[in-house]
Amino acid sequence: MKDTYRHKGLRKRMIDALRQRGISDEAVLAAMMAVPRHFFLDKAFEEHAYEDKPFPIGNKQTISQPFTVAYMTALLQVKPNDRVLEIGTGSGYQAAILAALGAHVYTLERQEALYLRAKALLAELGVRNVRCYWRDGFGGLPEHAPYNGIIVTAGAPVVPEPLRQQLAVAGRLVIPVGEEVQYMHRFTRLSETEYREEVFDAFRFVPFLEGINKKDSK
Ligand code: SAH
């Protein structure tokens, strides 16, 4: 896999477009400049990798569009050395962005085929601070809790209680909530028992589904 000057040029344009759409978090923009998105897409979409669009990644799933990744990552307010849990590994792109921000990333995927591919790709790219799990994200990952940030990259009909419970105090949970359309929510844990809830813009995600799915059953 190559990251050419042409790719870098297209990526720079993607960053400019994100700025124009209102993304102003410099750390997030720098991370998105550093990670070659075309590595996470099928070769067939390489030419389009830096357009602000989602693309199919197999198993009826999609890599989120760059604007959505930037928006959610900015809401998460990641600091270096934060422990971050991602639900919905998909292509591994969002996990690589979190790693580029200096987070220790744990990422869960329910589809075995996607889990295997993302894990192999992140290893090949030398991304070290991401650990991949084939796991149903509804339960979170209690063995490594608490997290400074939790990000759900599938549309959730409800907010799973285990995810709120696995936040550290001052930790943030960024999750798109809703059925057809999802509103981005951010829950900030204020104390053992209190959370602040904020609601942001509307998005459309692939659904957050319960249970795991074996490689051969697409
Ligand atoms: N973050 C991904 C985009 C993921 S699309 C990226 O950067 O490419 C959403 C992903 O969430 C899909 O791969 C889907 O299989 C996964 N998913 C849906 N429900 C899940 C669950 N309960 N647990 C874990 N992963 C889930």
Confidence of residue 216 (pLDDT cuts 50, 70, 90): low
How remote is the CA of residue 66 from the centroid of ligand 1, in Å? 16
* 175 CB within 6 A, ligand 1: no
Q: Report the nearest-CA residue for atom 17 of ligand 1.
A: 88
Q: Is residue 209 predicted with pLDDT exceeding 60? A: yes
* 66 CB within 6 A, ligand 1: no
91 is catalytic: no
* 213 CB within 6 A, ligand 1: no
Mean pLDDT of 24-49: 96
CB 104 within 8 A of CB 30: no
What is the three-class DSSP state of 137?
helix
Sign of CA dihedral 63, 77, 80, 3: positive
Q: Is residue 12 predicted with pLDDT exceeding 50? A: yes
**Closest listed residue to residue 144, CA positions, set 128, 123, 126, 129:** 129
* 54 CB within 6 A, ligand 1: no
Question: What are the counts of helices (DSSP H) followed by strands (DSSP E) for the chain?
Answer: 6, 9
Q: What is the pLDDT of residues 101-155, one digit of tens each?
A: 999 999 999 999 999 999 999 999 999 999 999 999 999 999 999 999 999 999 9
Give the percent of the chain with pLDDT over 70: 99
User: Which pLDDT value is given to residue 218?
Assistant: 47
Q: Could you tell which of 130, 209, 215, 217 is best to mutate to test the pocket of ligand 1, judged by most ligand atoms within 8 Å of the CB?
A: 209
Give the percent of the chain with pLDDT over 90: 94
Confidence (pTM): 0.97
Q: What is the pLDDT of residues 174-195, one digit of tens each?
A: 999 999 999 999 999 999 999 9
What is the three-class DSSP state of 40?
helix
How remote is the CA of residue 113 from the centroid of ligand 1, in Å? 12
Mean pLDDT of 59-72: 95
Domains assigned to the chain? 54-203 (3.40.50.150)
Confidence of residue 215 (pLDDT cuts 50, 70, 90): confident
* 212 CB within 6 A, ligand 1: no
Catalytic residue among 24, 64, 191, 217: 64
